[in-house]
Every structure is written in structure tokens, then in C-alpha cells.
Structure 1
Amino acid sequence: MSAPANPHRGDLILFMAATFTASWAAWAVAIALGGPAANPAALVPHLLGAFGPMVGALVLRIRRARRGAPVPEHAVRFRPAHLVGAPLLLVLASATVLGAVLLAHVAGGPGVSAEGALAAVQGSGGLAVFLVNMVVAGPLAEEPGWRGTAYPRMRASMGRFRIGLVLGVIWAVWHLPLFFLDGTVQHQLGLLSPSGVLFAVSSIPMTMLVCCAYERAGVLAAIAVHFATNTTMVLLGVHAPVAQAMIMGFQVIVVAVLLATQRRGSGPTAEPAARPQPAVG
């Protein structure tokens, strides 16, 4: 039996086109300027590129408003309970990374260094600047797009596992220019190095984890899990392939547990589709 046609196919194509155009154009400028590590002027287009998914989300928001269309059926509306669920998922995501790194150390990988975490914070200009950068440059700039906009529309015709594969691959490809931008984590890893390849592959379990968070507590939880994972990895200085592989394994286990414990009726279709939604939609 063939898969059902996606009524949001046009929206998804427009979202992806707007997202990739906005991000890759900005990053192309940053690369032409030599990258943030060589030229401070490249920092602005580098940061602006992270907001490509937000641009895509706004484009679809405007389009939906002009058409008077309802919020997608699978969009997760904000509920007060999300203010509790999101922090719990944040802690879970951070613990997943920490546990994986500790296990990787037992298996012969590098250990946890407080000096490395302190250097990462100081190198960003202090704790406040570090935290703001970790919230804005990735989670806040991306999640209203990838999870708040693309995911509900993909969910109309795809299962969770398939979305994890498809959106994970798209997310990995979207990051590709950063491997050529001096001053980024991806550039330090190297595109064809074991760590670079694992970074790309890790987009799939990471996508599944953040999508599970979105289904449980909306965009707020997606931002929280994305932030917790990125921040913990930066503070722990995760670069070794063994640690990256362990993190992916832990994420797969957590995703399986979250899916197995999700209550019936608690998913994104628990409320009518036409109910107003404060998120991007």
C-alpha cells in the first residue's frame, strides 16, 4: 500500500527552499570573508545563517495567515504543563550526554575536564554571553522551524521513525557549509574525519530525540533539549569519535523509552487543529 499524499507538500518545499537559501547565502558570505576565526566581520553572517529555519517558519506563517488556513493538525499547542516538562527533558538530554561521555572514558576515551569547560566559557566572553550564545545561535534560531513548522507537516504523512531519518539527513546537509567556515565546531572536526562523519550521522538520533521532546512539550521542549545537548557537549569538549558514538547510542535508548512511555491521547492531535496556536505553526 502506498503512503498517503502529504497535503503540506508545497509548504514543506517552500520551507526548505527559504531555509537553505537564507542559511547558505549568509554562510557563503562568511566563508568568503575568511570565517570568524580569521575575520571578525564574518561573525555576523555566520550567526545570521543559523536563523534560516526561522526565516522558513516565518514565510510559512505569513502564507498560512494570508490563506486563512488552520494550524496543522499535528502541531503541538502550548500548555502550562510544558513549563514543567521542558526543564525535565532538558535535564534528561544533558544527563544523556554526560553519561555517554563518562562511559566513553571508561572505554578508553578522554575524561571530563573542568578546565576545558571553564576555558569554553571564558573564551565566549563570560558565562552570560556563553549561555545566550548557546540558546540563540542554535536552539532558538532553529527549533521554531525544524520542529515547530516542518515536523507537524511531515507528520501528516510520515511516521516518527521515517521523519527522524528524513529530517535528520536534511539537518545534516543543512550544516554542510559550516565545515568550510573557519572558526566553527564543524570546521575543527573536519568534513571527512571520523568525528566529522559521526557529527553528520548523529543528526538522525538527535532529530529523533528533539522530535520526541516536541511531541511531549512543544517548541519550548525542543529548544530545551537542543540547548542542553549542545551546551553539555561544548562544556565537556566532545570531539573523540568514541564519545560521539556513545552519545548517539544513549540518545537512541532515550528515544525508545520516550516513545514507549508516551500516553495515548497525549500527542499532537489531542486538541482540535483549528485552535489558535502561539508557536510558529
Structure 2
Amino acid sequence: MLRRSPDLWLFLLVAFGLSWLFTLPLWLSDAPTGTLMFTLVGVAMMFTPTLGVLAVRLRGRQLGDPATGREWAVRTGLSAGGSRGRTLALVALAWFGIPALVVVAIALSAALGLLSVDLREFSLFRESLAAAAPGGPPPVEIGVLVAAQAVSMVLIVPVVNSVAAFGEEWGWRGWMLPRLTPLGTWRALLVSGVIWGLWHFPLTLRGYNYPELGAWAAPMFVVFCVTFGALLGWLRLYSGSVWPAVVGHGSLNSSAGLMLLIGDAADPPVFAVAGITSLVGSALMAVVSALLFTYRPVERPVPVAAG
């Protein structure tokens, strides 16, 4: 299938090529993770899959693809899918269910002795506040700040993060995943997850998400992309729409930092072994995805956007 899909190769060429081009300043300047430059470049990179989709659409138009813009939008998941009510319910599930999985992953990590938490003093969060505003105590009680931050991560920030998440999801789950489903659902999820993980290499080879691993963060994040991609893939295929996956992606990007609010400054969390992006979190999402595909299987194939 892959050999017979020049549009798929065009999509990958644009998405991967531009991802390396956009991140070239990080490599030339050796900018460390966590800086404003690293963040801005990372956000810009998130839109390269969308540019890949647009490149495929342009090629299709040049080759005489008769599909109207509305038809093509439906095929790439921009509509509400087969059932508007189902899609809205899945958007809500993604919005609040993903943070719930983050909390479960944190609890599992703590129960397994892989994460030290400080629910009394919130020392790690207190330390980050002191670093951001040295010389002054928090303006309000620390517990109130933690609660406000957590609420914001779950209710407000996902809206903002979903804008950038759309830049990825329209490409990976909206356009690419349905094109891979002739391989079989599980193979399509595996292949798309690996591709998604490899696409992150311009950042993860610099230690992004797992600074303690250095370049080994790259293969570690591929594992996460396969398991989280399976969950996002179910949202896309079950709804027929890309929007639940967009919101799920934005919600995870917003809530993944919850562990930093309750961590212990004396024993800071290691993201490779604790939390949603660790092997614990990946195992959790793999189990949830398997249950979803087993008890809520995809009923019909998603239409594929040609050319």
C-alpha cells in the first residue's frame, strides 16, 4: 500500500522535512529545552502535518480530484462525523478523561515507588515559584495556588492547546490514519504511532520530554506515541471526526504537568519512569485503548481522502 501512495509520501516529506527545517535554529544555536525559543519552535513544528495535508490537497487539485472542499473536509475528519451527539460526547470524554488518566498514571507511579509526592508542602511547586519570583513568598496560600493551577490545566488550557494540537491531528489522525487502515486497524495504529514518534526526533533527540535521557528520549517517546496514538486513533475512528482527537491531544499537553504540582523537591520526578509519559503511563494507555477497541469497536471504515 505504501509504495502505491505517492500522496502519502508527499505528506510525509512535507511534514518531516519542514519539522527539521523549523527546528534548525535550535540545533544551530544549541538552545536548551525549556527556553522560550524552544517552545516557540516546537509550536511552529506542530503545524507541519497540516501543511502536509494541504500539499496533498493541492496536488490532488492539480491532478483533477473532483472532490469538493466540503467532501474533502468530511473525509479528513473536519466534520462532526457520523453522529454529532456521539462526537460531542467523545470531545467531552477526551477533555476530561485524559486528565483522569494522567491522575491515574501519577497514582500508579507513586504506588509503585517510582514517584515521591508532597501533598502537604507542595515543595516542588513552591520551588518553581521561588525560581520564577525570587525573594518573595507566594501571594496566597500554596494549596490555593495548586488548586487554581490544576483547575486551569484541566478546564482552560486545553482550549488554547487544542489550536496547536489541531496542527498535528489533522495530519496524523485526520488524514493519515484512515489511509493506513487497509493494513488492519492494529497495524495502522502501530505504523501511525511510530511515524508520529519519529517525526518528533528534531526535538526528542535534544532530550525533549525526558531531559534525563538525552538523545535516548527519542526512542522512549516513540513508545509513548504508539500508545497515546492508539487512544487518539480510537477517538478518530469511532467518531468519524478528528475533533475528539484534537481535544484529547490538547488536554494531555495541558495536564501532563500535573505531576509537577505535587512532586517532592527533595526527590524530583523522573519523567521516563513516572507519570503519563513514562512506561507506566504508556502501559496504562495501551490497556485503555485495548478495552475501547474491544468493547466499543469501530463500526465502519472512515472515508479516505484521495489525492
TM exceeds 0.5?
Answer: yes
Residue in 2 that maps onto 1:191: 215
Residue in 2 that maps onto 1:52: 48
Query: Within the alignment, does 1:101 sit opposite 2:106 as a pair?
Result: yes
- Separation (CA, whole Å) in 2 of partners of 1:160 and 1:262: 13
Q: TM-score, normalised by structure 2?
A: 0.71
Query: Within the alignment, does 1:13 sit opposite 2:38 as a pair?
Result: no
Cα RMSD, aligned residues only: 3.5
Q: Identity over aligned residues, as a percent?
A: 23
- Give the CA deviation at 1:163: 1.4
Of the three residues 32, 37, 58, the one matched with 2:28 is 32
Of the three residues 194, 197, 202, the one matched with 1:177 is 202
CA contact (8 A) 2:53 2:171 kept: yes
Residue in 2 that maps onto 1:226: 249
CA contact (8 A) 2:50 2:171 kept: yes
Q: Which amino acid aligns with 1:149?
A: W
C-alpha change, 1:109 and 1:69, in structure 2 (3 Å) is farther
Q: Which amino acid aligns with 1:134?
A: N
| Corresponding residue pairs, total | 261
- Give the CA deviation at 1:196: 5.6
Query: Within the alignment, does 1:148 sit opposite 2:174 as a pair?
Result: yes
Residue in 2 that maps onto 1:22: 18
- Give the CA deviation at 1:171: 1.3
C-alpha change, 1:113 and 1:136, in structure 2 (3 Å) is farther
Query: Within the alignment, does 1:201 sit opposite 2:223 as a pair?
Result: yes
* Structure 1: gaps of 5 or more residues: none
Residue in 1 that maps onto 2:238: 216
C-alpha change, 1:263 and 1:38, in structure 2 (3 Å) is closer
Q: TM-score, normalised by structure 1?
A: 0.77
C-alpha change, 1:104 and 1:96, in structure 2 (3 Å) is same
CA contact (8 A) 1:103 1:246 kept: yes
- Separation (CA, whole Å) in 1 of partners of 2:231 and 2:253: 13
Query: Within the alignment, does 1:158 sit opposite 2:183 as a pair?
Result: yes
Q: Which amino acid aligns with 2:204?
A: F
Query: Within the alignment, does 1:248 sit opposite 2:282 as a pair?
Result: yes
- Give the CA deviation at 1:140: 2.1
- Give the CA deviation at 1:30: 2.7
* Structure 2: gaps of 5 or more residues: 133-148, 261-268
Query: Within the alignment, does 1:260 sit opposite 2:298 as a pair?
Result: no
Query: Within the alignment, does 1:236 sit opposite 2:259 as a pair?
Result: yes
C-alpha change, 1:23 and 1:132, in structure 2 (3 Å) is farther
C-alpha change, 1:181 and 1:222, in structure 2 (3 Å) is same
Q: Which amino acid aligns with 1:256?
A: A
Cα deviations by residue, 1:115-164 (Å, 9 ceiling, x for unpaired): 456859x97xx969955663344x22200110111111112x21121112
